[in-house]
């Protein structure tokens, strides 16, 4: 029996293959490549399935439609692995699919950049699974227990393909209970014996610490790399406010690009401390040594509203403001207010970078909130530049396109 077809440990007598049929709209969506089937869109099932069991989907004409991982504990009841012609999901399949993800990233990884997303979930054909690479360390983040029966195979495929010194495991809140019952822990190593929480990696030659054991997501927000590059290229001689600064990624790029001052603004003392450590790590760079770096510990929503300070560039990259669909309208309103207060902090001739990582807010809604705030400021501004994910964060379906950013250049006084 193939590894991926194997029933989870502890399963009693062999059972017939789990077979599913879907409602017509779901069938069409899966045929077009959508990777999720919600529970209410299952039409028929030959028996109850186990978590992580491989299920075969048949279409309305009884032909093979797809293979997926059954997830009885999630509203996303089936996580599609493959749609189209029948395949055998075995070791060779796993290796080939991983090799395809690696090939997709040719050009992202080089001598100056060794921090990147190696596997971006569904959009790379690996549902509920992310791999971030930080130099020789891989962080495998799992968002569902469906991978528990395959954790050994996954570890082996990653070792074979990427030859890491270490693979750390990170578990989402949904995935953790099942893994913990099986003896796994969030933050543990799956491979390698390093025990240090932080690793150093490179982004465009800049050195960054990443806390791979406890850090947010897998340690660092790699998805903003292209936007950080843009800021770095535009910062010479300028005062750059980095609101929601986390570990100082934008400020480091700006400082190396010749910014005059780079204040970080974050509510978390740990984030500000991480940024100071990153600045120390790069103190050998002339621009970074010369730029005035400051830490402001405050609630950025309040600080931006109340402060009278002005900057040439204001970066505003808050955490997700809509974790659920029900929060969408409130989040759009919050983005609008945040953009208004950020714009008030931008000097004439300056630049606003407003970003959103809320999957429930569409790019159109976010861009409208930001440009509406700019109109309301009564100031003239040039054509905005809109950007999305870095190329190592491919997004093949709507729900995966969470990151959007607007660069808004304000006109200098006439
Ligand atoms: N721009 C960063 C990522 C930002 S993540 C990068 O490129 O890496 C969001 C950050 O917002 C986190 O560091 C979090 O501590 C901070 N944060 C959350 N709520 C906040 C608030 N109310 N005021 C200020 N910072 C906040």
Best mutation site among 313, 319, 331 for ligand 1 pocket (most ligand atoms within 8 Å of CB): 319
Residue 2 pLDDT: 45
Q: How far, in Å, is the centroid of ligand 1 from the Cα of 317?
A: 7
Q: How far, in Å, is the centroid of ligand 1 from the Cα of 378?
A: 28
Q: How confident is the model at residue 13 (pLDDT cuts 50, 70, 90)?
A: low
Segment 199-214, tens digit of pLDDT? 999 999 999 999 888 8
Segment 360-397, tens digit of pLDDT? 999 999 999 999 999 999 999 999 999 998 899 999 99
Q: Which of 22, 78, 316, 357 is the catalytic position?
A: 357
Q: What does the mean pLDDT of the chain come to? A: 94
Crossing angle for the helix pair 269-281 and 249-256, to the nearest 10 degrees: 30
Q: Does position 30 have pLDDT exceeding 50, yes or no? A: yes
Q: How far, in Å, is the centroid of ligand 1 from the Cα of 221?
A: 11
Q: How confident is the model at residue 337 (pLDDT cuts 50, 70, 90)?
A: very high
- Mean pLDDT along residues 129-140: 96
Pocket of ligand 1 (CB under 6 A): 221, 224, 244, 246-247, 249-250, 266-268, 271, 299-301, 317-319
Three-state SS sequence of 295-327 = EEECCHHHHHHHCCCCEEEEEECCCCCCCCHHH
Ligand 1 atom at minimal distance to the Cα of residue 299: 23
DSSP 109-123: SBTTB-EEEEEEGGG
Q: Does position 1 have pLDDT exceeding 50, yes or no? A: no
Q: How far, in Å, is the centroid of ligand 1 from the Cα of 251?
A: 13
Distance CA 272, CA 262 (A): 12
Complete edge-to-edge strand list for the sheet that includes strand 36-38: 36-38, 76-83, 64-70, 54-58, 18-22, 42-45
Q: How far, in Å, is the centroid of ligand 1 from the Cα of 300?
A: 9
Beta carbons of 77 and 69 less than 8 angstroms apart: no
Nearest CA to ligand 1 atom 20: 267
Ligand 1 atom at minimal distance to the Cα of residue 250: 7
Q: Is 316 a catalytic site residue? A: no
Nearest CA to ligand 1 atom 10: 244
Best mutation site among 223, 226, 267, 357 for ligand 1 pocket (most ligand atoms within 8 Å of CB): 267
Distance CA 192, CA 194 (A): 6
Nearest CA to ligand 1 atom 16: 244
């Amino acid at each position: 029996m193939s590894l991926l077809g194997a029933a989870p440990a502890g399963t009693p007598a062999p059972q017939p293959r789990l077979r599913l049929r879907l409602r017509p709209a779901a069938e069409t969506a899966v045929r077009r490549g959508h990777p999720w089937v919600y529970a209410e869109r299952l039409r028929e099932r030959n028996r109850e399935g186990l978590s992580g069991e491989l299920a075969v989907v048949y279409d309305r004409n009884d032909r093979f439609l797809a293979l997926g991982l059954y997830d009885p504990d999630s509203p996303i009841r089936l996580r599609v692995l493959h749609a189209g012609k029948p395949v055998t999901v075995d070791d060779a399949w796993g290796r080939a699919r991983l090799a395809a993800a690696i090939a997709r990233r040719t050009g992202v990884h080089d001598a100056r950049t060794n921090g990147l997303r190696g596997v971006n979930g569904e959009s790379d054909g690996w549902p509920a699974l992310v791999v971030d690479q930080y130099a020789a360390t891989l962080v495998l983040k799992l968002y569902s227990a469906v991978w528990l029966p395959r954790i050994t195979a996954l570890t082996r495929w990653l070792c074979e393909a990427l030859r890491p010194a270490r693979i750390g495991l990170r578990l989402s809140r949904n995935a953790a209970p099942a893994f913990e019952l099986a003896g796994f822990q969030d933050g543990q190593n799956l491979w390698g014996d390093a025990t240090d929480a932080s690793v150093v990696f490179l982004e465009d030659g800049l050195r960054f610490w990443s806390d791979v054991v406890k850090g947010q997501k897998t340690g660092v927000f790699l998805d903003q790399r292209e936007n950080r590059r843009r800021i770095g290229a535009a910062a010479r001689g300028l005062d750059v406010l980095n609101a929601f600064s986390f570990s100082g990624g934008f400020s480091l790029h700006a400082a190396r690009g010749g910014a005059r001052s780079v204040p970080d603004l974050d509510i978390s003392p740990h984030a500000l401390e991480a940024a100071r450590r990153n600045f120390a790590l790069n103190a050998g760079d002339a621009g970074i040594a010369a730029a005035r770096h400051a830490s402001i510990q405050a609630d950025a929503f309040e600080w931006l509203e109340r402060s009278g300070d002005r900057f040439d560039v204001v970066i505003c990259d808050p955490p997700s403001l809509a974790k659920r669909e029900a929060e969408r309208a409130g989040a759009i309103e919050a983005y609008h207010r945040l953009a208004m207060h950020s714009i008030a902090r931008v000097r004439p001739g300056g630049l606003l970078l407003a970003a959103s990582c809320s999957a429930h807010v569409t790019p159109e809604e976010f861009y409208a909130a930001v440009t509406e705030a700019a109109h309301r400021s009564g100031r003239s501004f040039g054509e905005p530049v809109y950007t999305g994910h870095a190329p190592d964060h491919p997004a093949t379906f709507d729900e995966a396109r969470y990151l959007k950013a607007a660069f808004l250049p304000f006109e200098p006084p006439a």
